[in-house]
Chain A
Amino acid sequence: MADTLQSAERAPLLEVVNLKKYFSVKTGLIRKTDLRAVDDVSFSIARGETLGIVGESGCGKTTLGRTVLRLTEPTSGDIRYEGESIIGRDMKEYRKKMQIVFQDPYASLDPRKTVSDIIGEAMDIQKMYPDKAVRREKILELMRLVGLNAQFYNRFPHEFSGGQRQRIGIARALAVNPGFIVCDEPVSALDVSIQAQIINMLEDLQAETGITYLFIAHDLAVVRHISTRIGVMYLGHMVELTGSRELYERPLHPYTQMLLSAIPVANPDLSAAKKRMKLEGEIPSPLNPPSGCPFRTRCPRASARCREQMPPLTEVEAGHSVACHML
């Protein structure tokens, strides 16, 4: 609770207001339907904080991350960075402030470029270090920072393991000294042992530079470890948003409760005692979402009201917002 209050006091670095991203998808010979990847999502992130976003695959969390950076244009809504809206602006200046780390360490590095070119590209685009020697020094410094040996300077991505590639990707994002990084499932393609290394590195970087993260993942354990606050997404909607300890100790939304109960517990005694709530049914198609509350088709507590009305995300306690009629 304490950290939640603290973060609320600080001025938000990033504010997302009623963000929507619809994709037009061909569903018939001529007919088109909107795919609501992100539907009316609002949140804010304080400076130096990490907001975790969790949800099943296809819930729109990756789209959310990319839309926040305007890598895909939002359908509507507003994104404010340091209090100023970035919609309709030339992004070049913001590309220095907001960066992204990708999920797939293989596809996210240009196979034809060397490590130094990959890390240095942003510096070249932003014309940060016209002096070659300075540029080189900066690149080597970044490589040291993310734990890459200096002798890898001229190597190609295919010579590296997944974990090392992810370090390159992080160094690339850090090259412009951004204040904010979207981490789009940065560890889910890695081995578990490597995952911890990368997560710890991200935490160390945050401690050192005060950088702010939007951390997207489907693995609750990972998100819990790194996040200050956590938002839970379901079918493009934010259904619960609160401090990370609060979320694990007192989840309020039935979907969050089900997600948490699905985490296996190592201790068999505890495991037996734990009440399991099974998450039944399939996630509905985002092309044809249920009316009212998106979760009502799988919700044990769903009522008639859930069918008719979409519950808004409301703050039920200080720093704890839930979108559910049944509370």
Chain B
Amino acid sequence: MRVNMLSLQNKVSPEDFAPLGDDCFQEEALDTEEIGYWKASWERLRANRIAMTALVFIVILMFFAFLGPKLSPYTYDQQVRGDEAMWPCFKHPFGTDRLGRDILVRCMIGTRISLIVGMVSAVIVMIVGSIYGAISGLIGGKTDIIMMRVVDIVYSVPEILLIVVIKLIISEPLDALINTVPAFKGLQKVGSGLIAIFIVYGCLYWVGMARIVRGQILQLKNLDFVTAAQALGCSRGRMIREHLLPNCIGQLVATAMLQIPSAIFTEAFLSYLGIGVSAPLASLGSLTSESLNGFSSYPYRLIFPAVLISLIILSFNLFGDGLRDALDPKMKK
């Protein structure tokens, strides 16, 4: 066969046209085993090795953050005399800082803060966003138009700028509130810095979620099975409970999950700028910024929190991606 070197045609060989063997039909046999939606999702998730590895890491990080400090002989603000500025050693695996504070415990606390920030804000976003989106999508008409214009505006606001501004404004009154009103005393431990961050997330980050929920509801509302339920005399409450929510819960969870790393990111960024959690509480962001002074001589102070924050965000990113794929397979057609 003559071969034209300049040809843009595919090279084909006779084998390409050989008939397939009988075995190619075997896959078609119907799988009769009965599986539910959640079980099927879990199976898909389990088959995703990257997501499972990320999940293992998240669990390890949780132990590290919530159990670790209890097992450590030091507290995060304890200044051990004579142990100032130590390199990692047996006594202090991550070393100590200039004031003699154990960096391992401080990293554990920092991880704890990151995880709390991530998860609490995911919950806030999920609640605020899904309620807003569901109302907008279900009512429709003029209400929907106005509600979505508000979303558009909030969406176009550069969130990081407003977070900085809002954070600055509400921390002081919040401090005053916590310290004077007895009912809020319990929040003292959490710190006004963290609460301010949650409030800010609640104000700004829900828009993405609201859009997704509304989109889902609108899409579902037009599907025949919703009309069918209506034809059966299904009430509005039952419709939401039995049909709409179960059909978009996967997307909700996955979106909320992917919100976690972005919230952690922002908290670390704020703490790094010095407007996140208040001292002496440690956040991975503030630990990194503290380490910048004289980090050429003590690089370990930078490395540990830097690696930890990256690991946390990476794990949540990968797990979130896996979860989204597992929970939301494109509706089969």
Contacts and interface: CB of A to CB of B under 8 A. Distances in A.
Nearest to B230: A71
B224 interface: yes
B232 A122 contact: yes
- Give chain A's interface secondary structure class: loop
A155 interface: yes
Contacts of A172: 228, 232
A125 B333 CA distance: 29
Contact of B224 (A96, A99, A108, A112): A108
Contact of A107 (B225, B232, B234): B225
B206 to A, nearest CB: 25
13 contacts: A66-B227, A96-B233, A100-B227, A100-B231, A103-B224, A109-B225, A109-B228, A110-B243, A110-B247, A121-B232, A125-B232, A125-B238, A172-B232
Q: Which of B224, B227, B246 has the most CB of A within 10 A?
A: B224
A95 interface: yes
B224 A107 contact: yes
B228 A95 contact: no
B225 A108 contact: yes
Given A121-B229, A126-B233, A158 B332 contact: yes
B331 interface: yes
B223 interface: yes
B28 interface: no
A69 B331 CA distance: 28
Nearest to B243: A110
A92 interface: yes
A7 B91 CA distance: 97
Q: Which of A95, A110, A126 has the most CB of B within 10 A?
A: A110
A106 B333 contact: yes
Contacts of A154: 34
Contacts of A104: 224
A106 B333 CA distance: 7
A159 B246 CA distance: 19
Contacts of B233: 91-92, 95-96, 122, 125-126
Interface residues of A, number: 31
Given A95-B232, A125-B233, A102 B224 contact: yes
A99 B231 contact: yes
B17 interface: no
A159 B223 CA distance: 19
A169 interface: yes
A104 B225 CA distance: 10
Interface string B89-107: 0000000000000000000
Contacts of B242: 121
A176 interface: yes
Contacts of B331: 111
Nearest to B250: A112
Contacts of A96: 233
Contacts of B230: 71
Nearest to B231: A100
Listed from nearest, the 8 A-B pairs whose CB atoms lie closest are: A95-B233, A108-B224, A122-B232, A102-B224, A110-B225, A107-B224, A112-B246, A107-B223
Contacts of B243: 110, 112
B234 A71 contact: no
B234 A121 contact: yes
Contact of A112 (B34, B235, B247, B333): B247
Interface in B206-256: 223-225, 227-235, 238, 242-243, 246-247
Contacts of A110: 225, 229, 243, 246-247
Given A110-B247, A111-B331, A71 B227 contact: yes
Given A92-B233, A95-B233, A112-B37, A169 B246 contact: no
Nearest to B228: A108
Nearest to B232: A122
A114 to B, nearest CB: 8
Given A107-B225, A112-B247, A125-B234, 12 more contacts: A71-B230, A71-B231, A92-B233, A95-B231, A95-B233, A108-B224, A110-B243, A111-B331, A121-B229, A156-B35, A156-B36, A156-B37
A159 B40 CA distance: 13
Interface string B34-49: 1111000000000000
Contacts of A169: 228
